[in-house]
């Protein structure tokens, strides 16, 4: 006694569905990994661009400049992690204070004010419009 044609079709259908679902899952996983890596690299490039401008403007005691402020700088500040700018390493709330006005407009180009208090602390603020 063999398997009926209807049962064989049902088994084949289930096998095809399993293969299709696993292929779909693999495609979704690959896309999410790629897009996550891409957005991470783009965020790092924007952050590096901002730090290059900060590095340049740190030679002046008080300067106003325009720069794109990525949201990742606010994440770094919120986590209290160190930020490397040029050859110096800054720790938020120690020798680099980033005001909340900078984070309020993050994700866009802003006018920024970088000031130095001659006690070793730089302050980065959103410039008044």
In order, the DSSP letters of the chain are ----HHHHHHHHHHHHHHHHHHHHHHHHHHHHHHHHHHHHHHHHHHHHHHHHHHHHHTTSSEEEEEEEE-HHHHHHHHHT--EEETTEEE-BTTTEEE-HHHHHTTTEEEEEEEEE-SSS-EEEEEPP-
Q: Give the model's confidence band at 80: pLDDT under 50 very low, under 70 low, under 90 confident, else very high.
A: low
Q: Are 121 and 97 in contact (CB under 8 A)?
A: yes
Per-residue pLDDT reduced to its tens digit, 23-34: 888 888 877 776
Domain count, the chain: 1
- Mean predicted lDDT score pLDDT of the chain: 75
Q: Give the model's confidence band at 88: pLDDT under 50 very low, under 70 low, under 90 confident, else very high.
A: low
| Domain assignment of residue 15, given as a range | 5-126
Q: Give the model's confidence band at 48: pLDDT under 50 very low, under 70 low, under 90 confident, else very high.
A: confident
């Amino acid at each position: 006694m063999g398997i009926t044609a209807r049962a064989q079709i049902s088994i084949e259908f289930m096998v095809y569905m399993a293969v299709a679902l696993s292929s779909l899952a693999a495609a979704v996983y690959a896309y999410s990994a790629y897009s996550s890596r891409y957005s991470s690299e783009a965020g790092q490039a924007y952050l590096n661009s901002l730090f290059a401008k900060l590095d340049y403007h740190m030679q002046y005691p008080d300067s106003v400049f325009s720069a794109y402020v990525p949201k990742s700088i606010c994440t770094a500040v919120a986590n209290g992690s160190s930020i490397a700018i040029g050859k110096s390493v800054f720790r938020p709330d120690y020798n680099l204070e980033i005001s909340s006005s900078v984070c309020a407009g993050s994700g866009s180009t802003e006018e920024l004010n970088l000031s130095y208090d001659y006690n070793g602390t730089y302050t980065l603020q959103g410039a008044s419009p």
